[in-house]
Structure 1
Amino acid sequence: MSDEFPWLGPDDRFRFPRPEDGTEEGIVGAGGNLSPGMLLSAYTQGVFPWYAPGEPILWWNPDPRFVLFPDEFHVPRRLERLLRKSPFSYGLDTRFVDVITACGEVPRPGQDGTWITDDIRDGYVRLHALGYAHSLEVFDGEDLVGGLYGVALGRVFFGESMFSRCDDASKAGFSTLMQRLRSHGYVMVDCQVYTDHLARFHAREIPRKTFLKRLEVGLSAGPTERGPWTNQPADRAESRVNT
């Protein structure tokens, strides 16, 4: 893709190369832009952007794919006990810009720097304004102590990043989001690449071919919930969880 790649509006689409034609690591393209149409095209084809500052935009469709099926979601007993005593409250789409900014700024153990560039942040803020990108906020009193953001299409949620400023805030936020997704009929959460953090909730790797088939089913499993989720309750993480 050239640097002069056209800006795609939300109704425009781009066809990415077949994943079989990508690199062994799963890169299927480089360059382009983070316009709404480009990002929406990517997600509907199982592709996501991921690159370091100073690199061209890299588009990934890795094999295997790390996913969590809501009907397999599991909260470890220790975490369940902690959540019952937690002081946290939750919001949906109330502080999207603050959440994505914190995801890029709050240090993570074992990570140097961030992949959330200004262009990444601006691209997802545009998707949020169009009603496709959503955030969940975790509060301790008035303080934003954790959160995550991603993209919802059909009945698939594509998780992008999360942050935590205190112990267990990101775990509580993720558990709360899973409650909401399960109750609204979501069939898959794309977690992209393996992390121990999400494996504890029973996220698992599946072959790319299987992922793409499940993605096709999930995209047609219900209408996309566009617009802010602000007025929809984010249930406390300990309610209605299966252990």
Structure 2
Amino acid sequence: MSIDADDIVAVGGSLEPRVLVEAYRRGVFPWPIDGLEVLPWFCPKERAVLDFSFLHLSRSLRRELRKTPLRCTVNRGFDAVIERCAEVPRPGQDGTWITEELMDAYKEMHRLGFAHSVEVWDAEDVLVGGIYGVCVEGYFSAESMFHLTPNASKIALLYLVDHLREAGCDWIDIQVMTPHMKALGAIVLTRKQFLDRLARTRARGLRPFGA
């Protein structure tokens, strides 16, 4: 992630659920930085979102989705998903921003009904991909995903999109743009555009994961 000081809106504080929930309500998320002792909280000036109306699937991905033996579930293995997201190496990254403290905080958020996961399983019921994020008042912010087999993370994301669509949602927050998300049709909003969209979404009162 390329960091601009203006993207950071607060530093310090705790990762208690009440603090996290209030932060997400305001479009703010924690993201530790190596070498920085205090925890920074971000609301980027340029915010990447995946608007479902702009979702684009390549021909090869469509073929893969039609023939894949992989299957998806929701909230069956949240702890395992976040642990794999922290463990699986990523190109260009020496470590992970998912610290033990963050992991414990999001596991507690899951137990309280604010954090959710999609799991991807192979034919042997082995977890091979997944995605997790936070949902507050119908607004879903995707945090991280992983794959151990080709396209498993994309399959998890698309399953999440379908799940949210069924509940009336029409976009998700992906926080920062990546080549993978850009290829799927993600767009960048200004901070004001993003916060306006967030407010409209919260006002709709959607409950994509139940009460």
Q: So what's the TM-score if we normalise by structure 1?
A: 0.81
- Tell me how far 1:98 sits from its aligned partner: 0.3
- Tell me how far 1:88 sits from its aligned partner: 0.4
State the one-letter code of the partner of 1:26: D
Find the partner of 1:92 among 74, 89, 93.
74
RMSD between aligned residues: 1.6
Partner secondary structure for residue 56 of structure 2: coil
Change beyond 3 A, Cα 1:227–1:112: farther
Q: Which has the larger radius of gyration?
A: 1
Find the partner of 2:171 among 188, 191, 194.
188
Counterpart of 2:88 in structure 1 is 106
Counterpart of 2:11 in structure 1 is 30
CA distance in 2, matches of 1:226, 1:175: 16
Find the partner of 2:188 among 181, 188, 205.
205
Q: How does 1:52-131 map to 2 (within 5 A)?
A: 52=33, 55=36, 56-131=38-113
Counterpart of 1:48 in structure 2 is 29
For each residue in 1:32-70, what CA deviation from the matched residue of structure 2 results, as whole angstroms up to 9, or x when unmatched? 111001101111111000013553211001111000112
State the one-letter code of the partner of 2:175: Q
Partner secondary structure for residue 204 of structure 2: coil
Aligned residues: 206
Change beyond 3 A, Cα 1:218–1:212: same
State the one-letter code of the partner of 1:203: A
- Tell me how far 1:159 sits from its aligned partner: 0.2
For each residue in 1:72-124, what CA deviation from the matched residue of structure 2 results, as whole angstroms up to 9, or x when unmatched? 22222211111111110111000000000000001111111000001110111
State the one-letter code of the partner of 1:125: K
For each residue in 1:156-181, what CA deviation from the matched residue of structure 2 results, as whole angstroms up to 9, or x when unmatched? 21000000011111011111111111
Contact persistence 1:70–1:181 (CA under 8 A):
no
Partner secondary structure for residue 29 of structure 1: strand
Q: Does 1:215 align with 2:198?
A: yes
Change beyond 3 A, Cα 1:222–1:126: same
Q: How does 1:124-163 map to 2 (within 5 A)?
A: 124-141=106-123, 142-163=125-146
Larger helix share, 1 or 2:
2
CA distance in 2, matches of 1:226, 1:36: 18
Which structure 2 segments of 5+ residues have no match?
none
Which structure 1 segments of 5+ residues have no match?
1-22, 229-243
- Tell me how far 1:187 sits from its aligned partner: 2.9
Partner secondary structure for residue 150 of structure 1: strand
Partner secondary structure for residue 18 of structure 2: helix
For each residue in 1:97-156, what CA deviation from the matched residue of structure 2 results, as whole angstroms up to 9, or x when unmatched? 000000000111111100000111011111100111000000012110000100112222
Partner secondary structure for residue 75 of structure 1: coil
CA distance in 2, matches of 1:154, 1:69: 18
State the one-letter code of the partner of 2:158: S
Q: How does 1:162-177 map to 2 (within 5 A)?
A: 162-177=145-160
- Tell me how far 1:201 sits from its aligned partner: 1.4
CA distance in 1, matches of 2:5, 2:90: 27
